[in-house]
């Protein structure tokens, strides 16, 4: 049974399976940060881009393969780090000469929608931080940011435009067109 169906909204697909962003971008579908992703279904989005039924079925198959390879959407976790994000973070930490450091994730005021993410390498956690360890890397989340990003996924996207660490936030009610800020 497919995890992703054409009736799912684009934002629901991305929230549950961040790895699918790569598939969408590779197929020329840049709706991932668009304001319509919250109500447009993946099927309507693909049809709206002029894809044939055969091509839509092919992309749906790719999306489902990506979701299957990345594992089930994880419900109830504080935050999930994909293996791809962990590997990239390990690479960055090694380049910085800080293999035991972690990634600090904060939500700060700013951007079109009111909040944006601040990501930085940090040598250690602070007393009120939540520390998440997965795939051999640590993520530090401060007490104020936790309610705004609990349940989210951190992935890494390789892309010429819009690449980098990507947070799929289950708490975001809306995002700006470029996906850099949320409400």
What single string gives the DSSP state of each residue in 69-131? HH-S---S-SEEE-HHHHHHHHHHHHHTT-TT-EEEEEEEE-STTSEEEEEEEESS--TT-EE
Q: What is the pLDDT of residues 68-114, one digit of tens each?
A: 776 545 455 788 888 899 999 999 999 999 988 999 999 888 766 67
Domain boundaries, the chain: 10-70, 79-182
Q: What is the pLDDT of residues 129-176, one digit of tens each?
A: 999 998 999 999 999 988 888 888 888 888 766 678 888 777 776 665
Q: What is the pLDDT of residues 41-63, one digit of tens each?
A: 888 888 888 999 999 999 999 99
Q: What are phi and psi of 46, to 5 degrees?
A: -65, -45
Residues 43, 117 contacting (CB under 8 angstroms)? no
Q: Which CATH architecture has domain 10-70?
A: Orthogonal Bundle (1.10)
CATH 2.60.300.12 fits 79-182, yes or no: yes
pTM of the predicted model as reported, rounded to 2 decimal places: 0.60
């Amino acid at each position: 049974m497919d995890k992703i169906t054409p009736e799912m909204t684009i934002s629901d697909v991305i929230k549950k399976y961040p790895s699918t962003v790569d598939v969408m971008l590779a197929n020329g579908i840049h709706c991932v940060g668009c304001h319509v992703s919250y109500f447009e279904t993946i099927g309507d989005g693909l049809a709206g881009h002029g894809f044939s039924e055969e091509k839509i079925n092919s992309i749906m198959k790719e999306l489902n393969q990506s979701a299957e390879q990345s594992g089930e959407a994880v419900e109830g976790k504080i935050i999930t780090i994909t293996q791809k994000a962990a590997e990239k973070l390990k690479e960055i930490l090694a380049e910085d000469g800080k293999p035991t450091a972690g990634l600090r994730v904060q939500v700060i005021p700013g951007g079109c929608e009111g909040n944006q993410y601040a990501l930085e390498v940090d040598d250690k956690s602070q007393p009120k931080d939540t520390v998440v360890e997965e795939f051999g890397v640590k993520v530090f989340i401060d007490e104020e940011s936790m309610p705004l990003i609990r349940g989210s996924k951190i992935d890494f996207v390789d892309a010429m435009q819009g690449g980098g660490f990507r947070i799929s936030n289950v708490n975001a009610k809306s995002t700006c067109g470029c996906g850099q800020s949320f409400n």
